[in-house]
Amino acid sequence: MKTIILTTLNSRYTHSSLALRYLYANMNELQSSTCILEFTINESLQTIAEALLDRQPKIIGIGVYIWNATQVHALLEILKKVAPHVTVILGGPEVSYEPFRVNFDRADVIIQGEGDVAFYATCKTLLADGVIPSRIVKPSQVELSRLTLPYAFYNQNDITNRYIYVEASRGCPFSCEFCLSSIDEKVRNFDTNKLLEAFETLWNRGVRNFKFIDRTFNLNVHIANRFLDFFLSKEPPYFVHFEVIPDHFPDTIKEKISRFPAGSLQLEIGIQTLDPAIANTIGRPLRLEKIKQNIGFLHHKTKAHMHLDLIVGLPGESLAGFGNNLNVLCALTDSEIQIGILKKLSGTVMGRHDAQYGMIYSDTPPYDILQNDRLSFKEIQKMKRFARFWDLIYNSQNFKNTFPLIHTDTTVFDGFYALSEWIYSQTQSTWKISLERLSTLLFEYLTSTCKFDPEYVATVMVKDILCVKGRRIPKTIRHHYHTPVSAPSTTLLPHNKRQQKHL
């Protein structure tokens, strides 16, 4: 039995909560009375409540995020109905800024901001005095050098089955209006020496996947180079993820990135828009030529896997403008391009554009845009489907050889838009479409709508289908394929399957 439980609902089992481990690491004398219990958003909320209350806690701390806010609300209702004597403390980005668009009135305490130290202090006061000093706690920024690092509290199950999240800094120097990180404009760095010692310990315990959550990993060249050197000194296979600034790749960083072996390095690069006027509207710096040069370098001179981000629905950007962004990126690289729908998060200043650009958003998570003066509700809906099918077909790399057939006589955007419309007309759904069914749909589209020769399409698609062991050729495609089929030899590692398909 534990007096204090730290919990959250992750979006997937393979994810782990770095925030909970920070809280646990800094519980001081209360640590022995504290435990971490993690769940996922797909689990039964009543079963989660039962598991929490079975420990007979006095305090439950819950991390609230955009992906679990609705479920946390429902869990909170259950807990306060069946165990009103248990104090529930909420923290995390979804409750750090107002207005709250999900009702958390049943929470006893809400910590708005960095809770690494504030959670411990709140628990200590509650346990000592039995009273809640303040329902809303607004702590000042923590001094990173005074924090106990959390990495010792990843257990063996985490190391074996989950991504290991780490951070070298907090904050962001930029002021992109859609992003919560822009609120904290001062970048604070952890002690690099202490981090490298902690990472060495993780490595010796068997960790081979490190996902840095820093917004601007390559901002400080000296610090970035030290971490790159750390991983370059290790024997592959391993997987490292960094979020990087697209226009800041000094020669020393380029040289080191070029030495990483294939499948070991992923770079998340926030592009969002390539239109200077749109970027200026949302306060995003855009050195366009430098960005193009750096993406070209990463594509041609390194084996790094790039994950590029574009946003649909930015104020002032039309569908044609977004399409041009996508076409430009596809001309620069065949790397993954994540298409996101604009969200209006509490705490950001995106609301200042609402009247001028007719911005209308959903009031429920993830607070995505419904329409604006350039994109109707119907067009936004179509682009949500476009993004989903893009992920299934392009980003998945399941159809790497087949994809060029989709836009043979048109642009990438126009070709894929037509395909997206056609697939939805056949399925009336974007979910629960198996790879076999998707392959059949794509074959039918290319042969019936695009008028490609069936045997030619079958030959190209079989090459894609058989790139991974265990896949079956759909009957429709097999009927038009007359070359003997040999067994594939590719076996994908568990933590970076998609990245390996890009090789």
> Is there a domain that residue 158 lies in?
no
* 189: CATH: 3.80.30.20
Q: What's the pLDDT at 195? A: 98
Q: What's the pLDDT at 200? A: 98
> Is there a domain that residue 453 lies in?
yes
90 and 224 inside one domain: no
User: 341 has which bridge partners?
Assistant: 312
> Is there a domain that residue 154 lies in?
no
Chosen domain end from 120, 137, 154: 137
415 and 278 inside one domain: no
> From CA 417, how far away is CA 387, in angstroms rounded?
10
171 and 285 inside one domain: yes
Chosen domain end from 323, 344, 375: 375
- Residue 61 backbone dihedrals phi, psi, to 5 degrees: -105, 130
Question: How many structural domains are present in the chain?
Answer: 3
Q: What's the pLDDT at 485? A: 53
344 and 492 inside one domain: no
> Is there a domain that residue 386 lies in?
no
In sequence order, the 6+-apart residues with CB closer than 8 A to the CB of 216 are 169, 172, 173, 174, 187, 243, 244, 245
Residue type, 392: L
> From CA 449, how far away is CA 439, in angstroms rounded?
15
CB-based burial label for 417 (10 Å; 0-12, 13-18, 19+): buried
> From CA 460, how far away is CA 405, in angstroms rounded?
9
Query: How many residues comprise the chain?
Result: 503
What is the pTM assigned to this prediction?
A: 0.92
> Is there a domain that residue 150 lies in?
no
Q: What's the pLDDT at 175? A: 84
225 and 336 inside one domain: yes
> From CA 77, how far away is CA 71, in angstroms rounded?
10
Q: What's the pLDDT at 367? A: 97
**pLDDT block averages, 10 residues each, the chain of length 503:** 96 97 98 98 98 98 98 98 98 95 97 97 94 91 96 97 96 88 83 98 98 93 97 97 93 97 96 96 93 96 96 98 98 96 95 97 97 98 98 96 96 98 97 95 97 96 90 92 60 57 57
106 and 246 inside one domain: no
Give the CA count within 13 Å in the CB-facing half-sphere of 223. 18
Q: Is the Cα dihedral 231, 16, 431, 474 positive or negative?
A: positive
Cα 27 to chain centroid distance, Å, stands at 28
Q: What's the pLDDT at 470? A: 83
Range of the domain at 488: 398-503
Q: What's the pLDDT at 399? A: 96
* 21: CATH: 3.40.50.280
Q: What's the pLDDT at 173? A: 85
> Is there a domain that residue 143 lies in?
no
> From CA 123, how far away is CA 126, in angstroms rounded?
5
> Is there a domain that residue 388 lies in?
no
Alpha helices in 341-474 (DSSP H): 354-357, 377-390, 403-406, 412-427, 435-444, 454-465
Chosen domain end from 137, 172, 187: 137
296 and 327 inside one domain: yes
> Is there a domain that residue 389 lies in?
no
Other residues' Cβ atoms within 10 Å of the Cβ of residue 173? 15
